[in-house]
Each structure stands twice: as C-alpha cells, then as structure tokens.
Structure 1
C-alpha cells in the first residue's frame, strides 16, 4: 500500500475536507484528491461520500481512519524525535479510568503530569464501562480486575481489598443476623460474608439505601445509615479516626487496578511517561498509597 496516499487520506479525514486539508498542510487540493482516489482504487472501495459541499467518511473509511491515523501520527513523532536527537513526550494523550480512581487520585496525578510534561495534552475520561480503545481513540485505559484481552498488554499497578464497615451505632452481626446496609450494585443484594478473627461469618442484609457511587456509599455509612462493603483505601482514614468500625474483610476477590494499552503498536513516549508517573505515584501498589491521595 502507498503510505503517501494513506497519509493524504488521513490528512483529509482529519480536517474533514480537501480544501481545509490543503490549507493546513500547504499541499495542492488537486494532489490530495488524486491521492485519495488512487487509494480508493487500490482498495476497491469508496472511503468518502462526496456531496456538493460536504465530505463524509464511509463506514470503510471510518474503520481505516481509526486504525491508521494514530500509527501515522506516531511515525511522524518518531521521525521528529530522531531529527531532534531524542524523543520528548508531546501530543495528545487520551486516558479512560474508573470513576472512583478519578475521584480520589486522577485529578492530582493529571495536574502533576501536566506540569512535568507541558507539551502533552492529557485528556482523562471518567467511566466504569469497558471501552474499545481502537474505535474510541484511547491511548491508555485503567480498569479494575479486567478480563483477558489478547489485543492489550499492561500491568497491575495498585491493589486494594473490600472490607465491611459501619459506624459505632451498629454492632458486629452474628451468623444469619439481618443488618441494614448501603449497597451499590445488585450483586450486593445477596447475603454478605466476611472474614475476621472469629473466622468466616455470613449474615443477611436489608438494603435500606442504594447508591451509584462508592463515595456516596462511604458517606452514607459514615452517617450511620447501615453497613457497607467498601475498598480499604476509601475508608482507612475513617477507621484510624474512629469514624467507622471494621467488621472484617469481605469474602470477595481482591481488587487490582490495571493500566492497559494496545500491544499492536510501539509504545509512544507520552504513554511511557504516563506509565512511569503511575509507578512513581504508587511505588508499592498498596491501598495506603491510594488512601494518601485523600489527604493531599
């Protein structure tokens, strides 16, 4: 495939028109149009829908643009880095991260990252849903206990665990007791089990309040509404201050936060810089390190 034609197609798609692409790049409009037509002929498919004054990507064009635009951008950056004698992090960096992690830590991490790397334009999206990194244009995603994905590589950089806590108004339950509880998901509506010095114990819950955010759950539990299952990092300061009482560890899998990125392309300097920032922020990956961000 002609890389020059592919680069011209990406340029036109990015600027949504031949005229605008020609003005931005200084390339003749006729040359860009000819290159794109040659690429369409080579691929035997139409990449743009051409109207009177509008230019719109076809479905095939959107797929091609999504999969090649970042590769070409990284090639340009690599060439510029070699020419300047070193690769300095620069350009746009899009990150998707879970809501709770964003609420606790990402604002501070992002601010420090922006100060350290002023030529990187960091964009963080807070969401718990799984995203398609290629189709949605993310460079990095942070996920909790992600499932296996052969197209992604990464590492766990932070670990936490669920604990069951309540205010001092509520006493620790006995086996099969009915306990008022603040819940976040339907999975919590079944009986709860916890591990403590007394061993494994199960009890029933009465879901008196259902909230969509773990921060809201923590605040409601702190107010004495009922017990809650919460990450240790989110309640460790309340436990030390005596605002909440630890009943025990929830009988649930440990929490691991993973940072992931596509394995099909070379790691850019801006992604490497972001990964290193996470490593410096959480050198041991312990819950206490995440809890420390609440006090900063």
Structure 2
C-alpha cells in the first residue's frame, strides 16, 4: 500500500472534502483527488461517496480512516524521535478510567507518571461506561471486568473481590434482617432479599466504607479496617471477583506513552492483589 496515498486519504477524510484538505495542506486539489483515486483503485474499494456538494466516507472508508489515523500518527512520532536522536517519551496520553479507581488511585498514579516522562501531557477522563477508543481518541482505557472485544488487547493489572463487612459491635445475624449500607442500584434487591427495615443507599463506595453498618464492599477499601478491627469481616460475596484491565487497540502500534504508563502500573501492583491497592492508597 502507498503510505503517501493513505496519508492523503486521511487528510481528505479529516477535513471532509478535497477543497478544504487542499487549503489546509496548501496542496493542489487535483493532486489529492488523483492520489485518493489511486488508493481506491489499488484497494478495489470505494472510500468516498462523491456528491455535487459534499463528500462522505463509505463504510469501508470510515473503517480505513479510523485505523489509519492511529497508525500514521505512530509512524510520524517514531520518525520524529529518530530524527531528533531521542527516545524520550513525549506527546499527549488520553486515558479513560472508571469512577472509583479515578477517585482512589488515579490521581497518585498520574502524579508519579508526570515525574517520569515530563514531556507527556496526561489527560484522564472518568467514565463508567465503555467508550469508543478510536472514535473518541483514547490511547488507553481502564475497565472493570470488560466484555470480550476483538478490537482491543491488554492485561489485567489488579484484582479485587466484594466482601461483607459490619461494625465490630454488630452481632452476625442468623437469617434476621440487619440495617445495611448498599450501592444505589442494589438497594431494592437488598431490601427484597433481606426484608431489612432500614437500607441506606450510597452511590459512592468510599461513603459506604466510611459509614458502613453492614454491607458489601471491595476488599481493597476495607482490608486495613478489617486488620485494625474497625470492621468485622462476615464473608466474601460469591461470584464477585473484580478484575481491572488496561486495554488498547490491537491494530495500533503500542506507542511509547502507553508502554510507559503500563510499566508504571506494574510497580505498585506486582501481584495484582487487592491488598496491594489498599497499601498503595494508605501510603
């Protein structure tokens, strides 16, 4: 494949037309049109639907654009680093992370990362839903128990599980209802199962950890309280294993910024154990 033609194709797709692309790049419109036509002929695919006044990507063109933008960016950064004779990490790193992990650990991780490659601008967005990495321009996403996705690869860097804890002065029930602090989405189910006279709803798991009378919480948030006797451990929640994954696109070259952040994740959590996250948060 002609990489120069591919670069011209992404230029036109990004600007939404040959005229706008030609103006932005200060290159002849006819040249861009010819190069895109040659790419379509080489691939035997129509990449654009050409109307009288507008230009739209075909389904195949959009798929090629989403993949080629990332690849060309990596090639450009690699060429720049080689030309400068430097392997230092630089540029922007966009990460999407879940709310609880962002509230507890991401700030410290970001501060440590900023001291390692000072020429990287780190941008972290907090999302509890699956984002489209390519469409929204993320380099890395952190997700809890992600569904299988053929377009993403990565590794699990931290494990946790839900445990039932209570104040140490509470008697463990034998089938009777107890006051409980549960997450908002679990409130109705908890009350229905236990028949509890009082169910306190708390959407923030840290709120539950601080004010828990009884309820399920991640072990990483309460392991120190259990060890110090501030909370009693009543048992594990069956089937509540949690795995945090760092994911990135399979068809994208793993750039130096992502590699540097993945390397950072290995140090505080070498065994990927919940106790390691608890110790990291208590430092």
Asked if TM exceeds 0.5, the reply is: yes
Name the counterpart of 1:46: 48
| Alpha-carbon distance in 2 for matches of 1:185, 1:172 | 23
Change (3 A) 1:220 1:18: farther
Which among 251, 258, 263 is matched to residue 245 of structure 2?
Answer: 258
TM-superposition CA deviations, 1:11-40 (whole Å, max 9, x none)? 355466778766765x42536653575368
> Is 1:78 equivalent to 2:78 in the alignment?
yes
| Alpha-carbon distance in 2 for matches of 1:140, 1:112 | 17
Aligned residues: 277
TM-score, normalised via structure 1 length: 0.78
What SS class does the counterpart of residue 149 from structure 2 fall into?
A: coil
> Is 1:233 equivalent to 2:235 in the alignment?
no
Q: Which moved more, 1:156-165 or 1:29-38?
A: 29-38
Name the counterpart of 1:6: 6
Alpha carbons 1:6, 1:39 under 8 Å: kept: no
TM-score, normalised via structure 2 length: 0.81
| Alpha-carbon distance in 2 for matches of 1:90, 1:162 | 38
Instruction: Output the aligned Cα RMSD.
Output: 3.2
Q: Which moved more, 1:88-97 or 1:228-237?
A: 88-97
Change (3 A) 1:21 1:153: same
Change (3 A) 1:235 1:2: same
What SS class does the counterpart of residue 158 from structure 1 fall into?
A: strand
Listed as ranges, the gaps of 5+ residues in structure 1 are: 193-202
> Is 1:283 equivalent to 2:270 in the alignment?
yes
Q: Which moved more, 1:8-17 or 1:91-100?
A: 8-17
Please show how residues 162-201 of structure 1 align to structure 2 within 5 Å.
Answer: 162-174=162-174, 176-184=175-183, 186=185, 189-190=188-189
Change (3 A) 1:168 1:75: same
Listed as ranges, the gaps of 5+ residues in structure 2 are: none
